[in-house]
Amino acid sequence: MLDQADDIHPLFHGAPKSTEFKKLRKRLVQNVREAVEQYGMIAPTPTDGPPPRWLVCLSGGKDSYTLLAILHELKWRGLLPVDLLACNLDQGQPGFPATVLPEFLDRMGVPHRIEYKDTYSVVIDKVPAGRTFCALCSRLRRGNLYRIAREEGCSAVVLGHHRDDILETFFMNLFHGGRLATMPPKLVNEEGDLFLYRPLAHVAEADCEQFARAMAYPIIPCDLCGSQDGLQRQQVKQLLDGWERNSPGRRQIMFRALMNARPSHLLDPNLFDFAALTLGIQTQGH
């Protein structure tokens, strides 16, 4: 990757010159390209038609900054034939620094839309004291993002969930939901008119943190969720952190398991027809 001023997107201006950072950047680009290709996020378009347009959701956290930068890196180099529109949904949280993202995006030359919608008051009003805000907050945010995507002619809403988010969601479903499920890298919304993509699916959270810190992006914390102690996700995160400390690489092994499911070795008759099994040579593994 060349870093002359005319050969990089403005999001990478001032990038560290260290070998460590260059390796990190290369790893991020490779991970995102792999996810985009593996999960078919770029649909074929007619040669005479416009390229697909993605609504890239930007919260101001380390993950969404990483997502924005790497997608623009790929587009800048001709590896992502889509139009990108960054979007921040200002949900009316008290003290939210509303000027930070517009000023940053203007400075970086990134096309964007800033939308104000006070979902904060709705969440505070509807969620009983002592309960977590995340589920309702996420549902309201998602509905508004879908609306914005339609208004802007986008075919996909793109989120910054990374590998660790996907693992944590799997264990939350396992421990608290009684099901084997997690955030898929690609899905279609209930209305059937929009894709939802997670191009950071193969990216480690630690890489997002290291990248955003090295680039000195203006991080905006989520004080709404961060103010609540004892969240199930935090408990799962601490559990995974402990496993990783005791056995480095454990997270990546578990993530690979999500890509290597064997329905015949689970217990769901809706996924595998156990009743149809007969004696003799079987085709499934043992």
Does the structure show a pLDDT above 70 at 145? yes
Q: How many CB atoms lie within 10 A of CB 244?
A: 16
Tokens of 52: 């697909």
Domain extent listing, the chain: 16-41+49-223
Average confidence (pLDDT) over 118-134: 75
Token pair 């593996």: residue: 38
The listed range with the strongest mean pLDDT (130-139, 230-239, 241-250) is: 241-250
Chain-centroid distance of CA 170 in Å reads: 15
Tokens of 123: 């969440």
Does the structure show a pLDDT above 80 at 281? no
Torsion angle of C-alpha atoms 11, 12, 16, 20, degrees rounded to 10: 110
User: Which fold, 16-41+49-223?
Assistant: Rossmann fold (3.40.50)
- Give the pairing of strands 156-158 and 112-116: unpaired
pTM listed for this prediction: 0.89
- Give the pairing of strands 195-197 and 186-188: antiparallel
Q: What share of the chain is helix, strand, coil (3-state, %, to 5)?
A: 45, 10, 45
